[in-house]
Amino acid sequence: MTLLKKAAVGTAHGKIILIGEHAVVYNMPAIALPFMATTITVRITEKEGETHITSDYFTGYLSQVPEALYGFKEALIMVANHLDVSEQGLNIHVDSQIPSERGMGSSAAVATALIKALCNYFDYEIDEDTLKNFVDVAEKITHGNPSGIDTTVVNSSNPIYFKKNQPPAFIPLNLDGFLIAADTGIKGNTKEAVSDVGKLVDSAKSQTMKVIEKIGDLTGKAKVTITENNVLSLGEIMNQTHRLLKQLTVSSDELDHLVQAALQAGACGAKLTGGGRGGCMIALAKTSDHAKEIAQALTEAGAIKTWIHPLNSGVDVNE
Ligand code: PMV
């Protein structure tokens, strides 16, 4: 029998893809970091009648959710079916610091936090594999053809070296460097970007696959530079990767502008992160003071928010 709790909570966090986005869809590796400065909490309480959702993105009844939340809705229905309970009669409150549609994994994080909150609410202990499978289904609805990297990292406390359909390898990150993330303020569109890369693969296969394979090689090299604590080489690899992502048409003028601003401020490297076409970029600095200067330069260049993330497993700083 399922015991009903009066209130329950589920949490997850955002992520930063250090390198390998888009190429990871084509079985290349990628490296992603949990981004603890951005968290998401889903609270569930009991109510009469139709389930109601309150969030910054959308507030209204389950039957009215916009297309961008169809994955979220499906996650709710899947869990309800799995537990043999009704998806109605719930008040779902989403409190998110992860900017949505900015390449920080908000859709995977919200689905993860929702599923955890629901399982808590119905007093069900979900195992990691089932949780991941449910989030993967929700992500397929949201993103079309996701690699699964977001699903894995938003529920992990460790950086991961990820390859599609393989168990992720956790990689120790102990670099004398700081990552600065900056939000262009423009919504990205991962589904469209992934689909457009797919069209490029279809129309110019060998040329596009060469670019994708180069990103894969750079990701392998990035892994080595991380082990060797070589911040300067990692920065150069990030620069090369950004140029390749541009060739895949997933950058934007605003992203290129912030990448340029970070490099002018002396960053060791800079690139877009996540799906692109808007959303966020990242830059690399050797010291905390320099990271703050770069964050300031990015704000002056138009970023609406910046974060500094130490790469030695320290605590994130909200700028
Ligand atoms: O934009 P995000 O945070 O969903 O990141 C997507 C990463 C991609 O490699 C572009 C797609 C994927 O499914 O791996």
What does the alpha-carbon distance between residue 60 and residue 246 come to, in Å, rounded to a whole number? 38
* Rg from Cα positions in the chain: 19
Reported in sequence order, the residue ranges of 213-304 that DSSP labels E, i.e. its strands, are 269-273, 280-285
Question: Given the CA of residue 188, which atom of ligand 1 is nearest to it?
Answer: 1
Does residue 314 surpass a pLDDT of 90? Answer: no
Question: Rounded to the nearest 5 degrees, what angle is found at the Cα of 180, between the Cα atoms of 217 and 197?
Answer: 40
Ligand 1 pocket test target in 106, 143, 242 with most atoms within 8 Å of CB:
143
Cβ contact 30:17 at 8 Å: yes
Give distance in angstroms: CA of 190 to centre of ligand 1. Answer: 6
Interval between CA 17 and ligand 1 midpoint (Å): 8
Mean pLDDT score of the chain, rounded to an integer?
94
Dist. CA 57–CA 99, nearest whole Å: 10
Quote the ligand 1 centre to 221 CA distance (angstroms).
Answer: 21
Determine the pLDDT at residue 90.
Answer: 97
| C-beta separation of 18 from 282 below 8 A | yes
Residues 238-269: pLDDT tens digits?
Answer: 999 999 999 999 999 999 999 999 999 999 99
- What is the CA(259)–ligand 1 centre distance, in A? 19
Q: pLDDT for 196-248, tens place per residue?
A: 999 999 999 999 999 999 999 999 999 999 999 999 999 999 999 999 999 99
pLDDT in tens, 158-184: 999 999 999 999 998 889 999 999 999
**Of 87, 78, 81, the residue nearest 52 (C-alpha):** 87
Cα separation, 232 vs 284, whole angstroms = 9
Q: Taking a C-beta distance cutoff of 8 angstroms, is the pair 140, 274 a contact?
A: no
Say how many Å lie between the CA of residue 275 and the centre of ligand 1. Answer: 5
Classify each residue of 120-158 as buried b or exposed e, where b means 16 or more C-beta atoms within 10 Å of its C-beta.
Answer: bbbeeebeeeebbebbbebbebbbeebbbbbbbbbbbee
* Residue 180: strand, helix, or coil: strand
Tell me how crowded residue 103 is: count the other CB atoms within 10 A of its CB. Answer: 32
The CA 245 to ligand 1 mean position distance, Å, reads 13
Going from the C-alpha of 102 to that of each of 68, 72, 187, 305, the distances in angstroms are 13, 17, 6, 11
HSE-up (13 A, CA, CB side) for residue 151: 27
Note the pLDDT of residue 313.
Answer: 64
Indicate the top mutation candidate among 27, 112, 194 to test ligand 1's pocket, ranked by most ligand atoms within 8 A of CB. Answer: 194
Kindly tell me if the per-residue pLDDT of 145 is higher than 90.
no
- Residues enclosing ligand 1, CB less than 6 A? 17, 21-22, 24-25, 103-105, 143, 146-147, 149-150, 188, 190, 194, 274-275
pTM of the model: 0.90
Give the whole-angstrom CA distance, residue 268 versus residue 254: 20
Question: What ligand 1 atom has the least distance to the C-alpha of 250?
Answer: 10
Lowest-confidence range among 47-56, 94-103, 211-220?
A: 94-103
pLDDT of amino acid 103: 87
Alpha-carbon torsion (169, 172, 175, 179), positive or negative:
positive
